[in-house]
A and B are shown apart, each in its own frame.
Chain A
Amino acid sequence: MSSVELQHITKKFRTVTALNDVSFTVKNREFFVLLGPTGAGKTTTLRIIAALLHQDSGSVLFDGESVDDWTPADRDVAFVFQQYSLYPTMTVYDNLAFPLRSPMRKTPGPEIKEKVQRAAEILHIGHLLDRKTANLSGGEMQRVAIGRAIVREPRIFLMDEPLSNLDAKLRESLRVELQHMQKTQGNTTLFVTHDQIEALTMADRIGVLNEGRIVQVGTPNDIYDRPATTFVAQLVGSPRINLFDARVEDSQLWLVGSKISVPCPTDRTMPATVQVGIRPEDIQPDPKGKFSGEVILTEPLGVETILHIRSGEQVLTSLIPGISSMRLHDTVHFNILRDRLHYFDDSGKRIGQ
């Protein structure tokens, strides 16, 4: 296993800049998730690390050594594609053994067998080894594709949205398995996804990518509790963060279009107009609450309920535990956890800590 470092990577496709000065490091044995919407440049980043694409400028370092001139075979990475890239007309066993049989690797026969068996065991595909890949289900195919990555000891695992083509239940179970595998084997992994839940649950660290730029790198806690921009704040968390324009008046912060105001924080300098972000779980109904509004929609999810509360022209989303007894058009009193508020300036950058 290796650490992988990207230094000022820029990549253009004709007139489109796919990656713009991207730098980050995946530490040895770390599970690093690259999170971003479609078209952010996540896959391009992976392909550059695997040498399937070449960057226009910047360099890629493995363990501090530049690998810019290395071919995909030299770089010795494992790549799990979004489409299950299995070799057709081969059995599952042959697919798993494929990378080991490479003339460049010269693995002895008994060792191949042992490694394939072990990978099949980890991924619960031992019973499929003799099957042709065309007859497998989507989940089984992706397991085989992951298996093909883990039969050898690559320097880094690159995974390009490997779970996004699976149904919800399978995605969840494979997510847990992947995480377990990574933790027990200590594989350096760079995992690409647009799914914030995958990112938050699996990552040691997350890099948020938007329009070819790294917006923020940090632990899931950092990303969730201290989003660097409104983009990051809106990308993670479900339901989405409440984001309002606010005016500072008489050291009070007024949310535009509502009757809600909170005292201005004193530990940082605030411009005259800001954006305030409130996580739904930080809006808590309380009969003695300071604010009130009208319930316009409830979404009971079992463990929790999403309340949509109208205050003035604004609608706030609140997340409360359990099934709520609130009914439509009820008046609800609530509190806002002031020390959990997020402030952003007009350009969307976070103000203060």
Chain B
Amino acid sequence: MTVSTQAQIQAAGQAQPQRKRRELSDRAIVNLFIWPTLILLIAWNFFPLIYSLFLSFTDYSAIANKPPQWVGFKNYADILTDTQMWKYFATTGRYALVTVGMQTILGFSLAVLVREKFRGSGLVTTLILIPMMLSPVVVGLFWKLMYNPSFGYFNFLLGFGNPVNAPDMLAGRFANVPVPNLALWAVALVDIWMWTPFVMLLVLSGLKAIPDYLYEAAAIDRASSWFQFWRITVPSVMPLLMIAILFRTIEAFKSFDLVMGMTGGGPGDQTELIAVNLYRQAFLGQWRTGRASALAYLILIIIIAISNLYIRYINKANED
């Protein structure tokens, strides 16, 4: 008797802590994964979000050493009635329209070209992708050098030898005569150069997913290549293209690093995009933290509204 019961007790004694440990560990692992993430999210995202929402209703300045004073919707009203702010919004809208538009057209065209297999097509694709892998600040700095009217490659390649009657892109002048918006288009060009590959990449993955037999069926059905392009290629790629456009639109409204690297908003306020202005209000000069927070919320609302339009369109396209 004694031997067997002892063995049983031993076995039970061993089994119990094992089971207990496993019960604990499941729970512990869950906590281990969730809480650090949650704490980080709360500290870095959630708290600033709520706190800045609060600040946007105050006259707080981060350097004033004064507690925030509640001013209600004054900051919002000020911004929305400020014609200067409307100008920045308009500049940003124009910038977004041109960059995203050109990136879509060029990215799509490049994708269609690169889809064809030719000698070295893999290498060409990789080379095209390089700009989007660079840091925006670096891109801004070296394009600034390239645009330089005295020694930049840009003018040299365009055939302007003498800096006196050549364009100075970032200064917004041609042969020392101011050209409206030239600087803005100069920055837009860099944005297009940098992010066209992103659109190309997404479109390319969409193109590669179209089965060959659809084109073969269309060829047999006597569809012209134009017809094939509009009725097979475009609809198949549309969902991915829309996602690329959505991403680029959001990014365009947040454009900051490229502009800061090249013009810092100048000359005058030609390249003063809304995000650049936000930075200026928040961290330069008067440090108008409350007003900057309100502006940040307005930008957020615009981006959410635009994203919603796109997402609704994408969902509708997917349902069909």
Q: Is A224 an interface residue (CB 8 A)?
A: no
Question: Taking A72-B219, A102-B224, A102-B227 as contacts, is the C-beta distance between A83 and B213 under 8 angstroms?
Answer: yes
- Contact size range, B: 10 to 19
CB closest chain-A residue, reference B318: A134
Q: List residues 42-73 of chain A with CB under 8 A from any CB of chain B.
A: 50, 52, 71-73
Q: List residues 67-104 of chain A with CB under 8 A from any CB of chain B.
A: 71-73, 76-79, 81, 83, 85, 87-90, 98-99, 102-104
Question: Taking A102-B227, A103-B227 as contacts, is the C-beta distance between A148 and B221 under 8 angstroms?
Answer: yes
B107–chain A nearest beta-carbon distance, Å: 21
Q: List residues 18-43 of chain B with CB under 8 A from any CB of chain A.
A: none
- Indicate the member of B213, B214, B221, B223 with the most A CB atoms within 10 Å: B221
Q: Would you give the 0/1 interface string for B205-247, flagging 1 where the beta carbon is closer than 8 Å to chain A?
A: 0000001011011111111100100011001100000000000
Question: Taking A87-B232, A88-B236 as contacts, is the C-beta distance between A102 and B213 under 8 angstroms?
Answer: no
Q: Is B82 an interface residue (CB 8 A)?
A: no
Q: List residues 276-324 of chain A with CB under 8 A from any CB of chain B.
A: none
Cβ B221 vs Cβ A52 within 8 A:
no
- Contacts across chains A and B counted by CB atoms under 8 Å: 59
A146–chain B nearest beta-carbon distance, Å: 12
B207–chain A nearest beta-carbon distance, Å: 14
Cβ A98 vs Cβ B235 within 8 A:
no
Q: Which of A85, A88, A132, A148 contacts B213 (CB 8 A)?
A: A85
Which A residues are in CB contact (< 8 Å) with B222?
Answer: 73, 76, 99, 102, 104-105
Which B residues are in CB contact (< 8 Å) with A103?
Answer: 224, 227
Which B residues are in CB contact (< 8 Å) with A89?
Answer: 235-236, 320
CA of A102 to CA of B220 in the docked complex: distance in angstroms? 10
Which A residues are in CB contact (< 8 Å) with B213?
Answer: 81, 83, 85
Question: Taking A88-B236, A132-B320 as contacts, is the C-beta distance between A83 and B220 under 8 angstroms?
Answer: no
Cβ B220 vs Cβ A72 within 8 A:
yes
A341–chain B nearest beta-carbon distance, Å: 45
CA of A324 to CA of B227 in the docked complex: distance in angstroms? 62
CA of A103 to CA of B225 in the docked complex: distance in angstroms? 11
A71–chain B nearest beta-carbon distance, Å: 8
CA of A11 to CA of B313 in the docked complex: distance in angstroms? 47
Cβ A52 vs Cβ B214 within 8 A:
no
Cβ A78 vs Cβ B320 within 8 A:
no
Which A residues are in CB contact (< 8 Å) with B223?
Answer: 98, 102
CA of A132 to CA of B320 in the docked complex: distance in angstroms? 7
CA of A89 to CA of B227 in the docked complex: distance in angstroms? 14
A70–chain B nearest beta-carbon distance, Å: 12
Q: List residues 121-164 of chain A with CB under 8 A from any CB of chain B.
A: 132, 134, 148
Which residues of B are interface residues toward A (Cβ below 8 A)? 211, 213-214, 216-224, 227, 231-232, 235-236, 320
Which residues of A are interface residues toward B (Cβ below 8 A)? 50, 52, 71-73, 76-79, 81, 83, 85, 87-90, 98-99, 102-105, 132, 134, 148
- Give the 10 A-B CB pairs with smallest separation, nearest first: A102-B222, A99-B221, A89-B235, A73-B222, A85-B217, A72-B219, A104-B222, A85-B213, A79-B220, A72-B220
Question: Knowing that A87-B231, A87-B232 are A-B contacts, what are 10 other residue pairs whose CB atoms are under 8 Å apart, sorted by A's residue number?
Answer: A79-B217, A85-B216, A87-B217, A87-B218, A88-B236, A89-B236, A98-B223, A102-B227, A103-B227, A105-B222
